[in-house]
Amino acid sequence: MGVFTVLTRCILQPLSVVDDELVPKVGMTFTTLEDAGKFYRNYAKAAGFSTRVRCTNRKGNEIKNQLITCSREGKWKSKISPTEKTNPTAGLNCPARIYIHTLKDVGAWIISKVVLDHSHPCCPSKAEMLKQHRELSMSIRRTIENNEEAGIRPSKTYQSFVATAGGHRELNFIEKDVRNYITREVRNIPSKLNGYKGHADIEQEMSQVVWNSHSKDSFNRNWNDFLLNFGLGDNKWLSGNVFLKSASEVEQAERESDAADFHTVIPCATKSCIEAQFQDAYTHAKFREVQAQFRGKANCITRLKNSALGYSVYEVGEQVSSSIFNKFAVTYDSVAAEVKCHCLLFESRGILCRHALSVLSFEQVSQVSPRYILERWSKKVKRRHTHIKSSHDEPLMEPRSKRFDQLVFRSQNICEFASESEELTGILHRAYDNVMAEMEALKAKRKGTSSLSHEDANLESVNELQSPPRIRTRGRPKNRLGSKLEKQIANATKKKKTKVLSEINLFDAASAAHSNCSQYQGHVMSYQFRVPAAGDNSLGV
């Protein structure tokens, strides 16, 4: 069974999860071609895929029609041999597309053809990780530029965005986008190195280290060698440029890796159906290890030693040099669909060895038993740590600070949109003035009703001011330390409350008797009671 067949079986229908208003339909019209393309991109993000412009037909300088397809359309053929190619490819002959052409008479654009079906699964939750749907807003770019000028590392800049937004999932870009923007647009590097002799060679070597290091360990090793070779160990700015990954950064890296596993495919090195089985199941990182065994199978010679009742013993000779062969004993049980090699690679690393694969090929086995496809390396496995709350999920800050950060983060998009013209800026200024006036009026209204008026100063209002409820504790409460003192305080408080309530009743009676007196204007009287702490001798109101 080929990988195309496997993927076709697990196609997800985007229509089941996307609002009907977002789904493109034949006959939809748009004012401009850009509006039509934006509409299809928004649908793609909601459905879980990305798009690209496949072709554009022109007549002179005018565009007549345009074909926009799923980014996994087509099947690009690499010049590199399949046995040597290990980089993933996204092409999968996906038929999803829309066809747009102009209506010359009315000056509009219309969708004349729509194909919604895909040849691959679509995952809306992973769409935000696709390059097309990632972007840096104006406020984000300005912050990156300011932080870079201040010498703040890109990783710290990105983490500040994560903390402000409340987590990685709240951002529509990744750390790589921040680094790429700095490399392409900011270019702070010449100013840091112009004082060194041969700074052009330094910049070139630095670029090689940054772009050709494929892991944290290799980068640290290459970076340290770079500093040593050019005598830059004393440069604080360069010596501080080391990738440090926290737990949340590791989670984000795994999310990016998951997205790559889902949206791209590493081509098979052989025609083996078993390799296609692992290709469909395993992550890119693990499938590369499996592919190394399939390539090594070419150096193996398989010879049947004996066989009885479906149980066979093979001798596999592996050529390790021009004249040296290493021999391995491999057994195969056709009834139990079990293969074992005495090199014990599967037992130690969980990967079928090239010797076992050679025997399976000799036996013409097209599918391996599920026991040889381990779930922990499956691209469909659900990571548990992604459901563990991190420090970004619930920031440890007072509610006002939390509300402030949320307002600032949301207002950035509004400010960016309004800055496009003077008219939009004026609209936003007027809206700010109206909102400020409304908020001030509401605040003043609440402030006026917050104090206790004369009409509300009755016994019922006073009774609402209660002490916190008592909580029973374990042990023997009668003999608790300080219980005698607490009783004395409670009795004194009770007497004082009785005295105050009597004064209130007298006050109400006097108010009723002198209601016609012009000298009395109904002054507001507010009483605040507190529970005295142990050792407080005042016991006053």
**DSSP states along 254-301:** HHHHHHHHHH-BPPPSSS-HHHHHHHHHB-HHHHHHHHHHHHHGGGEE
Mean pLDDT on 66-74 = 89
Q: Check residue 292 and give its pLDDT.
A: 92
| Encoded tokens for 410 | 């949301």
Asked whether residue 106 carries a pLDDT value surpassing 90, the answer given is no
How far are the Cα atoms of 439, 474, 485, 495, 531 from residue 471, in angstroms, in the given order? 40, 10, 18, 24, 16
Nearest to 287 by CA among 350, 208, 194: 350
pLDDT-derived band at 496 (thresholds 50, 70, 90) equals: low
Give the three-state DSSP class for 329: strand
Query: Distance between CA atoms of 438 and 324, rounded to whole angstroms?
Result: 88
Percent of the chain's residues with pLDDT above 70: 66
Mean pLDDT on 268-296 = 91
Q: Check residue 448 and give its pLDDT.
A: 63
Q: Give the list of residues 6+ apart from residue 518 with CB closer than 8 angstroms, or none.
A: none
Higher local confidence (pLDDT), 245 or 109? 109
| Structure letter (DSSP) for residue 78 | P
pLDDT-derived band at 215 (thresholds 50, 70, 90) equals: low
Average pLDDT, the chain: 75
Q: For 102-106, 376-380, 461-465, which range has the lowest pLDDT when averaged over its residues? A: 461-465
Q: In 10 A of CB 381, how many CB atoms?
A: 12
Q: Check residue 327 and give its pLDDT.
A: 93
Q: Give the list of residues 6+ apart from residue 365 with CB closer than 8 angstroms, or none.
A: 274, 337
Mean pLDDT on 270-284 = 91
How far are the Cα atoms of 128, 160, 406 from residue 171, in angstroms, in the given order? 9, 11, 13
β-pair type (300-308, 108-115): unpaired
Give the three-state DSSP class for 89: strand
Mean pLDDT on 337-350 = 92
Asked whether residue 244 carries a pLDDT value surpassing 90, the answer given is no
| Structure letter (DSSP) for residue 99 | E
Number of helices followed by number of strands (H, E) in the chain: 18, 9
Mean pLDDT on 246-251 = 56
Mean pLDDT on 374-393 = 61
Asked whether residue 520 carries a pLDDT value surpassing 90, the answer given is no
Higher local confidence (pLDDT), 408 or 473? 408
Asked whether residue 12 carries a pLDDT value surpassing 50, the answer given is no
Higher local confidence (pLDDT), 345 or 262? 345
Q: Check residue 83 and give its pLDDT.
A: 60
Q: Check residue 363 and give its pLDDT.
A: 94
Query: Distance between CA atoms of 376 and 281, rounded to whole angstroms?
Result: 11
Q: Check residue 200 and give its pLDDT.
A: 72
Query: Distance between CA atoms of 406 and 56, rounded to whole angstroms?
Result: 42
